[in-house]
Amino acid sequence: MVVDNVSAAKKVVWMLTNKYKHLVHACDTEVAKIDVKQETPVDHGEVICFSIYSGPEADFGNGKSCIWVDLLDGGGRDLLNEFAPFFEDPSIKKLGFPLLSTGLQVYLYIYAMFSYPCALGFIETHRGWLQSEALTGDRRVMSEDKKAYQKDMSKDNTDEGFMGKISMKDIFGRRKLKKDGSAGKISTIAPVEELQRKERELWISYSAFDSINTLKLFPGKSMFDFYPEYWQPFGEILVKMETEGMLVDREYLSEIEKVARAEQEAAVNRFRKWASKHCPDAK
């Protein structure tokens, strides 16, 4: 459900703070005018939209349980302020990454990064730690509520289903044109403000799916479940290795140690040679 005026916002906020106050709500924002490589979210950037997903029990109108709020062209700061009673109420349980660039005193029930699924991502860094497309594509994370998940995806008019979210680059990336007019290998993404205006329907689906993913990652296992499932067996293996030892080819190890020490010495000399150009004492 798209909210782009104060009147619609008031109705939604009333439901969030009264009718559906008992639910857990997942929140997510999209931010413009920020250099994520140089700046933190605190006091940087401008929130251009946000979404709130309250689960299948909620109905904000026409069966929609997820709302998407347009701050870019729908009312800006005035529209955001309408949601202050919801965001600033500590008794309402909200999930999400820290909404630091909203300017509101947001009280979150739990930050999304401190979760069982993200702990899985910590171990398997190749999957993309803290990337929703990686976590929601992991069947170990999502399979416990697979049927409900697929049902909600259909209800909320999304078609990405159980396999998780598709990356922003895959959806909005456009290949740069070469001088001869053919498509090059390098893909670029337009500014998010442009995407929100020119790719509106696709952008709404993309950004709203983040809050849906966040709530889907929340139920089920806790960090306590993670401990006996992963850390405890791993610890037992380490203890067993230390107690029983493990077979080592000592002759090979002795030879490879000589190679390693030679490589280490070469690396140290190479570094000192480089460092001495900047600091003569490095020699």
**The token pair that represents 260 in the structure block:** 């390693």
**The token pair that represents 2 in the structure block:** 């798209």
Indicate whether 254 and 212 sit together in one domain.
no
Tell me how far CA of residue 227 lies from CA of 23, 69, 156, 230, 241, in angstroms.
Answer: 28, 38, 34, 6, 20
* Choice among 22-26, 81-85, 196-200, 246-250 with the minimum mean pLDDT: 246-250
Indicate whether 102 and 212 sit together in one domain.
yes
Residue 227 placed within a domain: no
Predicted local confidence at residue 178, as pLDDT: 81
**Could you tell me the residue range of the domain that residue 259 belongs to?**
248-283
Indicate whether 101 and 146 sit together in one domain.
yes
Residue 70 placed within a domain: yes
Most trustworthy range by pLDDT among 42-56, 119-133, 183-197, 247-261:
247-261
Most trustworthy range by pLDDT among 87-96, 98-107, 192-201:
192-201
Indicate whether 159 and 57 sit together in one domain.
yes
Indicate whether 142 and 100 sit together in one domain.
yes
Average pLDDT of span 200-209 = 91
Q: What are phi and psi of 79, to 5 degrees?
A: -70, -40
Kindly report, residue by residue over 216-240, the tens digit of the pLDDT.
877 666 778 878 888 899 999 988 8
Average pLDDT of span 197-211 = 90
Indicate whether 86 and 211 sit together in one domain.
yes
Indicate whether 102 and 154 sit together in one domain.
yes
Predicted local confidence at residue 18, as pLDDT: 96
Predicted local confidence at residue 130, as pLDDT: 45
Indicate whether 205 and 261 sit together in one domain.
no
Predicted local confidence at residue 33, as pLDDT: 86
CATH of the domain at 78: 3.30.420.10
Residue 171 placed within a domain: no
Which conformational region is residue 47 in: left (phi greater than 0), alpha (psi within -120 to 50 degrees), or beta? beta
Residue 232 placed within a domain: no
Better-scored residue on pLDDT, 102 or 166? 166
Q: Which helix (H) or strand (E) holds 30?
A: strand 25-32
DSSP 234-281: HHHHHHHHHHH-----HHHHHHHHHHHHHHHHHHHHHHHHHHHTT-GG
- The chain-wide mean pLDDT, for the chain, equals 78
Binned at pLDDT 50, 70 and 90, residue 121 comes out as very low
Indicate whether 208 and 277 sit together in one domain.
no
d(CA 95, CA 88): 13
Indicate whether 157 and 262 sit together in one domain.
no
Predicted local confidence at residue 100, as pLDDT: 52
Average pLDDT of span 117-144 = 48
Residue 136 placed within a domain: yes
Query: How many domains does the chain fold into?
Result: 2
Q: Is the pLDDT of residue 38 over 50?
A: yes
Predicted local confidence at residue 129, as pLDDT: 40
* Choice among 25-29, 49-53, 162-166 with the minimum mean pLDDT: 162-166
Indicate whether 140 and 62 sit together in one domain.
yes
Indicate whether 29 and 152 sit together in one domain.
yes
Tell me how far CA of residue 82 lies from CA of 30, 34, 77, 93, 250, in angstroms.
Answer: 18, 24, 9, 18, 71
Kindly report, residue by residue over 161-191, the tens digit of the pLDDT.
444 567 788 888 888 888 888 888 888 888 8
